Amino acid sequence: MDMKNVSNLRILLALTLSLAMFSCKKSSSSSNSSRATGWNINNKKGGFQYNTNFKEQQTAPGLVFVEGGTFTMGKVSDDPMHDWNNSPNQQHVQSFYMDETEVTNLMYMEYLDWLKNVYPPDDPNYSLIYKGALPDTLVWRNRLGYAEMMTENYLRHPGYAEYPVVGVSWIQAVEFANWRTDRVNELYLEEAGYIGRDAKVSENITADSNFNTDAYINAPSQTYGGNEDILNGGRRKQQTDAEGNPINVYAKRESGIISPDYRLPTEAEWEYAALGLSELRSYNVYRGRKKYPWDGQYTRSGKRKWKGDQLANFKQGKGDYGGIAGWSDDGADITAQVKSYEPNDHGLYDMAGNVAEWVADVYRPIVDDEFNDFNYFRGNVYYKNALNEDGTTRIVTTDEMAYDTLPNGKVVVRNFPGEVAKVAVDENETYLRTNFDRSDNRNFRDGDKKSSKRYRESFSEDENRDSKNKPSETRKMYNSPQHKIERDSAGNIIREYDKSNSRTSLINDNVRVYKGGSWRDRAYWIDPAQRRYFPQDMATDYIGFRCAMSRVGSKSQGGSKKRN
Q: What is the DSSP string of 7-64?
A: HHHHHHHHHHHHHHHHHHHHHHHHTTB-TTT-PBSS-TTSS----TT--S----TTEE
The answer to whether 356 touches 516, Cβ cutoff 8 Å, is yes
For 338, list phi and psi in degrees, rounded to 5. -60, 150
- SS3 state at 420: strand
The Cα–Cα gap between 257 and 250 comes to 11
The answer to whether 268 touches 93, Cβ cutoff 8 Å, is yes
Q: What is the pLDDT of residue 463?
A: 47
Give the list of residues 6+ apart from residue 244 with CB closer than 8 angstroms, or none: none
Q: What is the pLDDT of residue 39?
A: 92
Q: What is the pLDDT of residue 28?
A: 39
DSSP symbol at 176: H
The answer to whether 498 touches 508, Cβ cutoff 8 Å, is no
**Topology given in CATH for the domain delimited by 61-191+259-299+341-379+520-564:** paralog of FGE (formylglycine-generating enzyme) (3.90.1580)
The answer to whether the Cα torsion of 271, 275, 278, 283 is positive or negative is negative
Q: What is the mean pLDDT of the chain?
A: 85
Q: What is the pLDDT of residue 467?
A: 46
The answer to whether 71 touches 275, Cβ cutoff 8 Å, is yes
The answer to whether 79 touches 531, Cβ cutoff 8 Å, is no
The Cα–Cα gap between 525 and 542 comes to 12
Q: Alpha-carbon Rg of the chain, whole angstroms?
A: 28
Residues listed for the chain = 564
Count Cβ atoms within 10 A of the Cβ of residue 159 and give its class: 0-12 exposed, 13-18 middle, 19 or more buried: exposed
The Cα–Cα gap between 465 and 474 comes to 9
Q: What pairing do the DSSP bridges indicate for beta strands 511-515 and 531-535?
A: antiparallel
Q: What is the pLDDT of residue 423?
A: 95
β-sheet bridge partners, residue 527:
none
The answer to whether the Cα torsion of 285, 287, 291, 293 is positive or negative is negative
Residue 551 host element (H or E): none
Q: What is the pLDDT of residue 475?
A: 55
Q: What is the pLDDT of residue 325?
A: 84
- SS3 state at 272: helix
The answer to whether 166 touches 539, Cβ cutoff 8 Å, is yes
The Cα–Cα gap between 136 and 159 comes to 19
Amino acid identity of residue 551, one-letter, is: R
For 231, list phi and psi in degrees, rounded to 5. -65, -35
The answer to whether 310 touches 76, Cβ cutoff 8 Å, is no
224-251: buried (b, 16+ CB within 10 Å) or exposed (e) per residue? bbebeebbebbeeeeeeeeeeeeebebb
Digit-by-digit pLDDT tens for the chain (564 residues) are 555 565 666 666 666 665 555 444 444 334 688 999 999 998 877 788 888 888 899 999 999 999 999 999 988 877 776 767 888 899 999 999 999 999 999 999 999 999 999 999 999 889 899 999 999 999 999 999 999 999 999 999 999 999 999 999 999 999 999 999 999 999 999 999 999 888 888 888 999 899 999 999 999 999 999 998 899 888 888 887 777 788 888 999 999 999 999 999 999 999 999 998 766 565 665 555 677 887 777 787 777 766 667 778 899 899 989 888 877 778 899 999 999 999 999 999 999 999 999 999 999 988 999 999 999 999 999 999 999 999 999 999 988 888 888 877 788 888 899 999 999 999 999 999 999 999 999 988 885 556 655 555 554 544 444 444 444 444 566 778 888 888 777 777 888 888 888 888 888 899 999 999 999 999 989 999 999 999 999 999 999 999 999 999 999 987 655 554
Of residues 166, 139, 131, 112, the one with CA closest to residue 357: 166
The answer to whether 140 touches 541, Cβ cutoff 8 Å, is yes
Q: How many CB atoms lie within 10 A of CB 160?
A: 19
The Cα–Cα gap between 350 and 545 comes to 11
Of residues 150, 128, 127, the one with CA closest to residue 139: 150
Give the list of residues 6+ apart from residue 45 with CB closer than 8 angstroms, or none: 241, 242
The answer to whether 293 touches 275, Cβ cutoff 8 Å, is yes
Q: What pairing do the DSSP bridges indicate for beta strands 356-362 and 543-544?
A: parallel
Q: What is the pLDDT of residue 27?
A: 40
| Spacing of C-alpha 441 from chain mean position | 18
> What is the separation, in whole angstroms, between the first and last Cα of the chain?
55
Could you give the C-alpha distances from 32 to 21, 24, 239, 257, 425, in angstroms and in order?
18, 14, 17, 19, 38
β-sheet bridge partners, residue 486:
494
Q: What is the pLDDT of residue 120?
A: 94
DSSP string, 323-381: EETTEESSS-SS---TTSS---TTS---SSSSSEEEEEEEP-SS--TTT--BS--S--B
Count Cβ atoms within 10 A of the Cβ of residue 480 and give its class: 0-12 exposed, 13-18 middle, 19 or more buried: middle
Amino acid identity of residue 329, one-letter, is: D
Query: CATH 3.90.1580.10 region(s) of the chain?
Result: 61-191+259-299+341-379+520-564
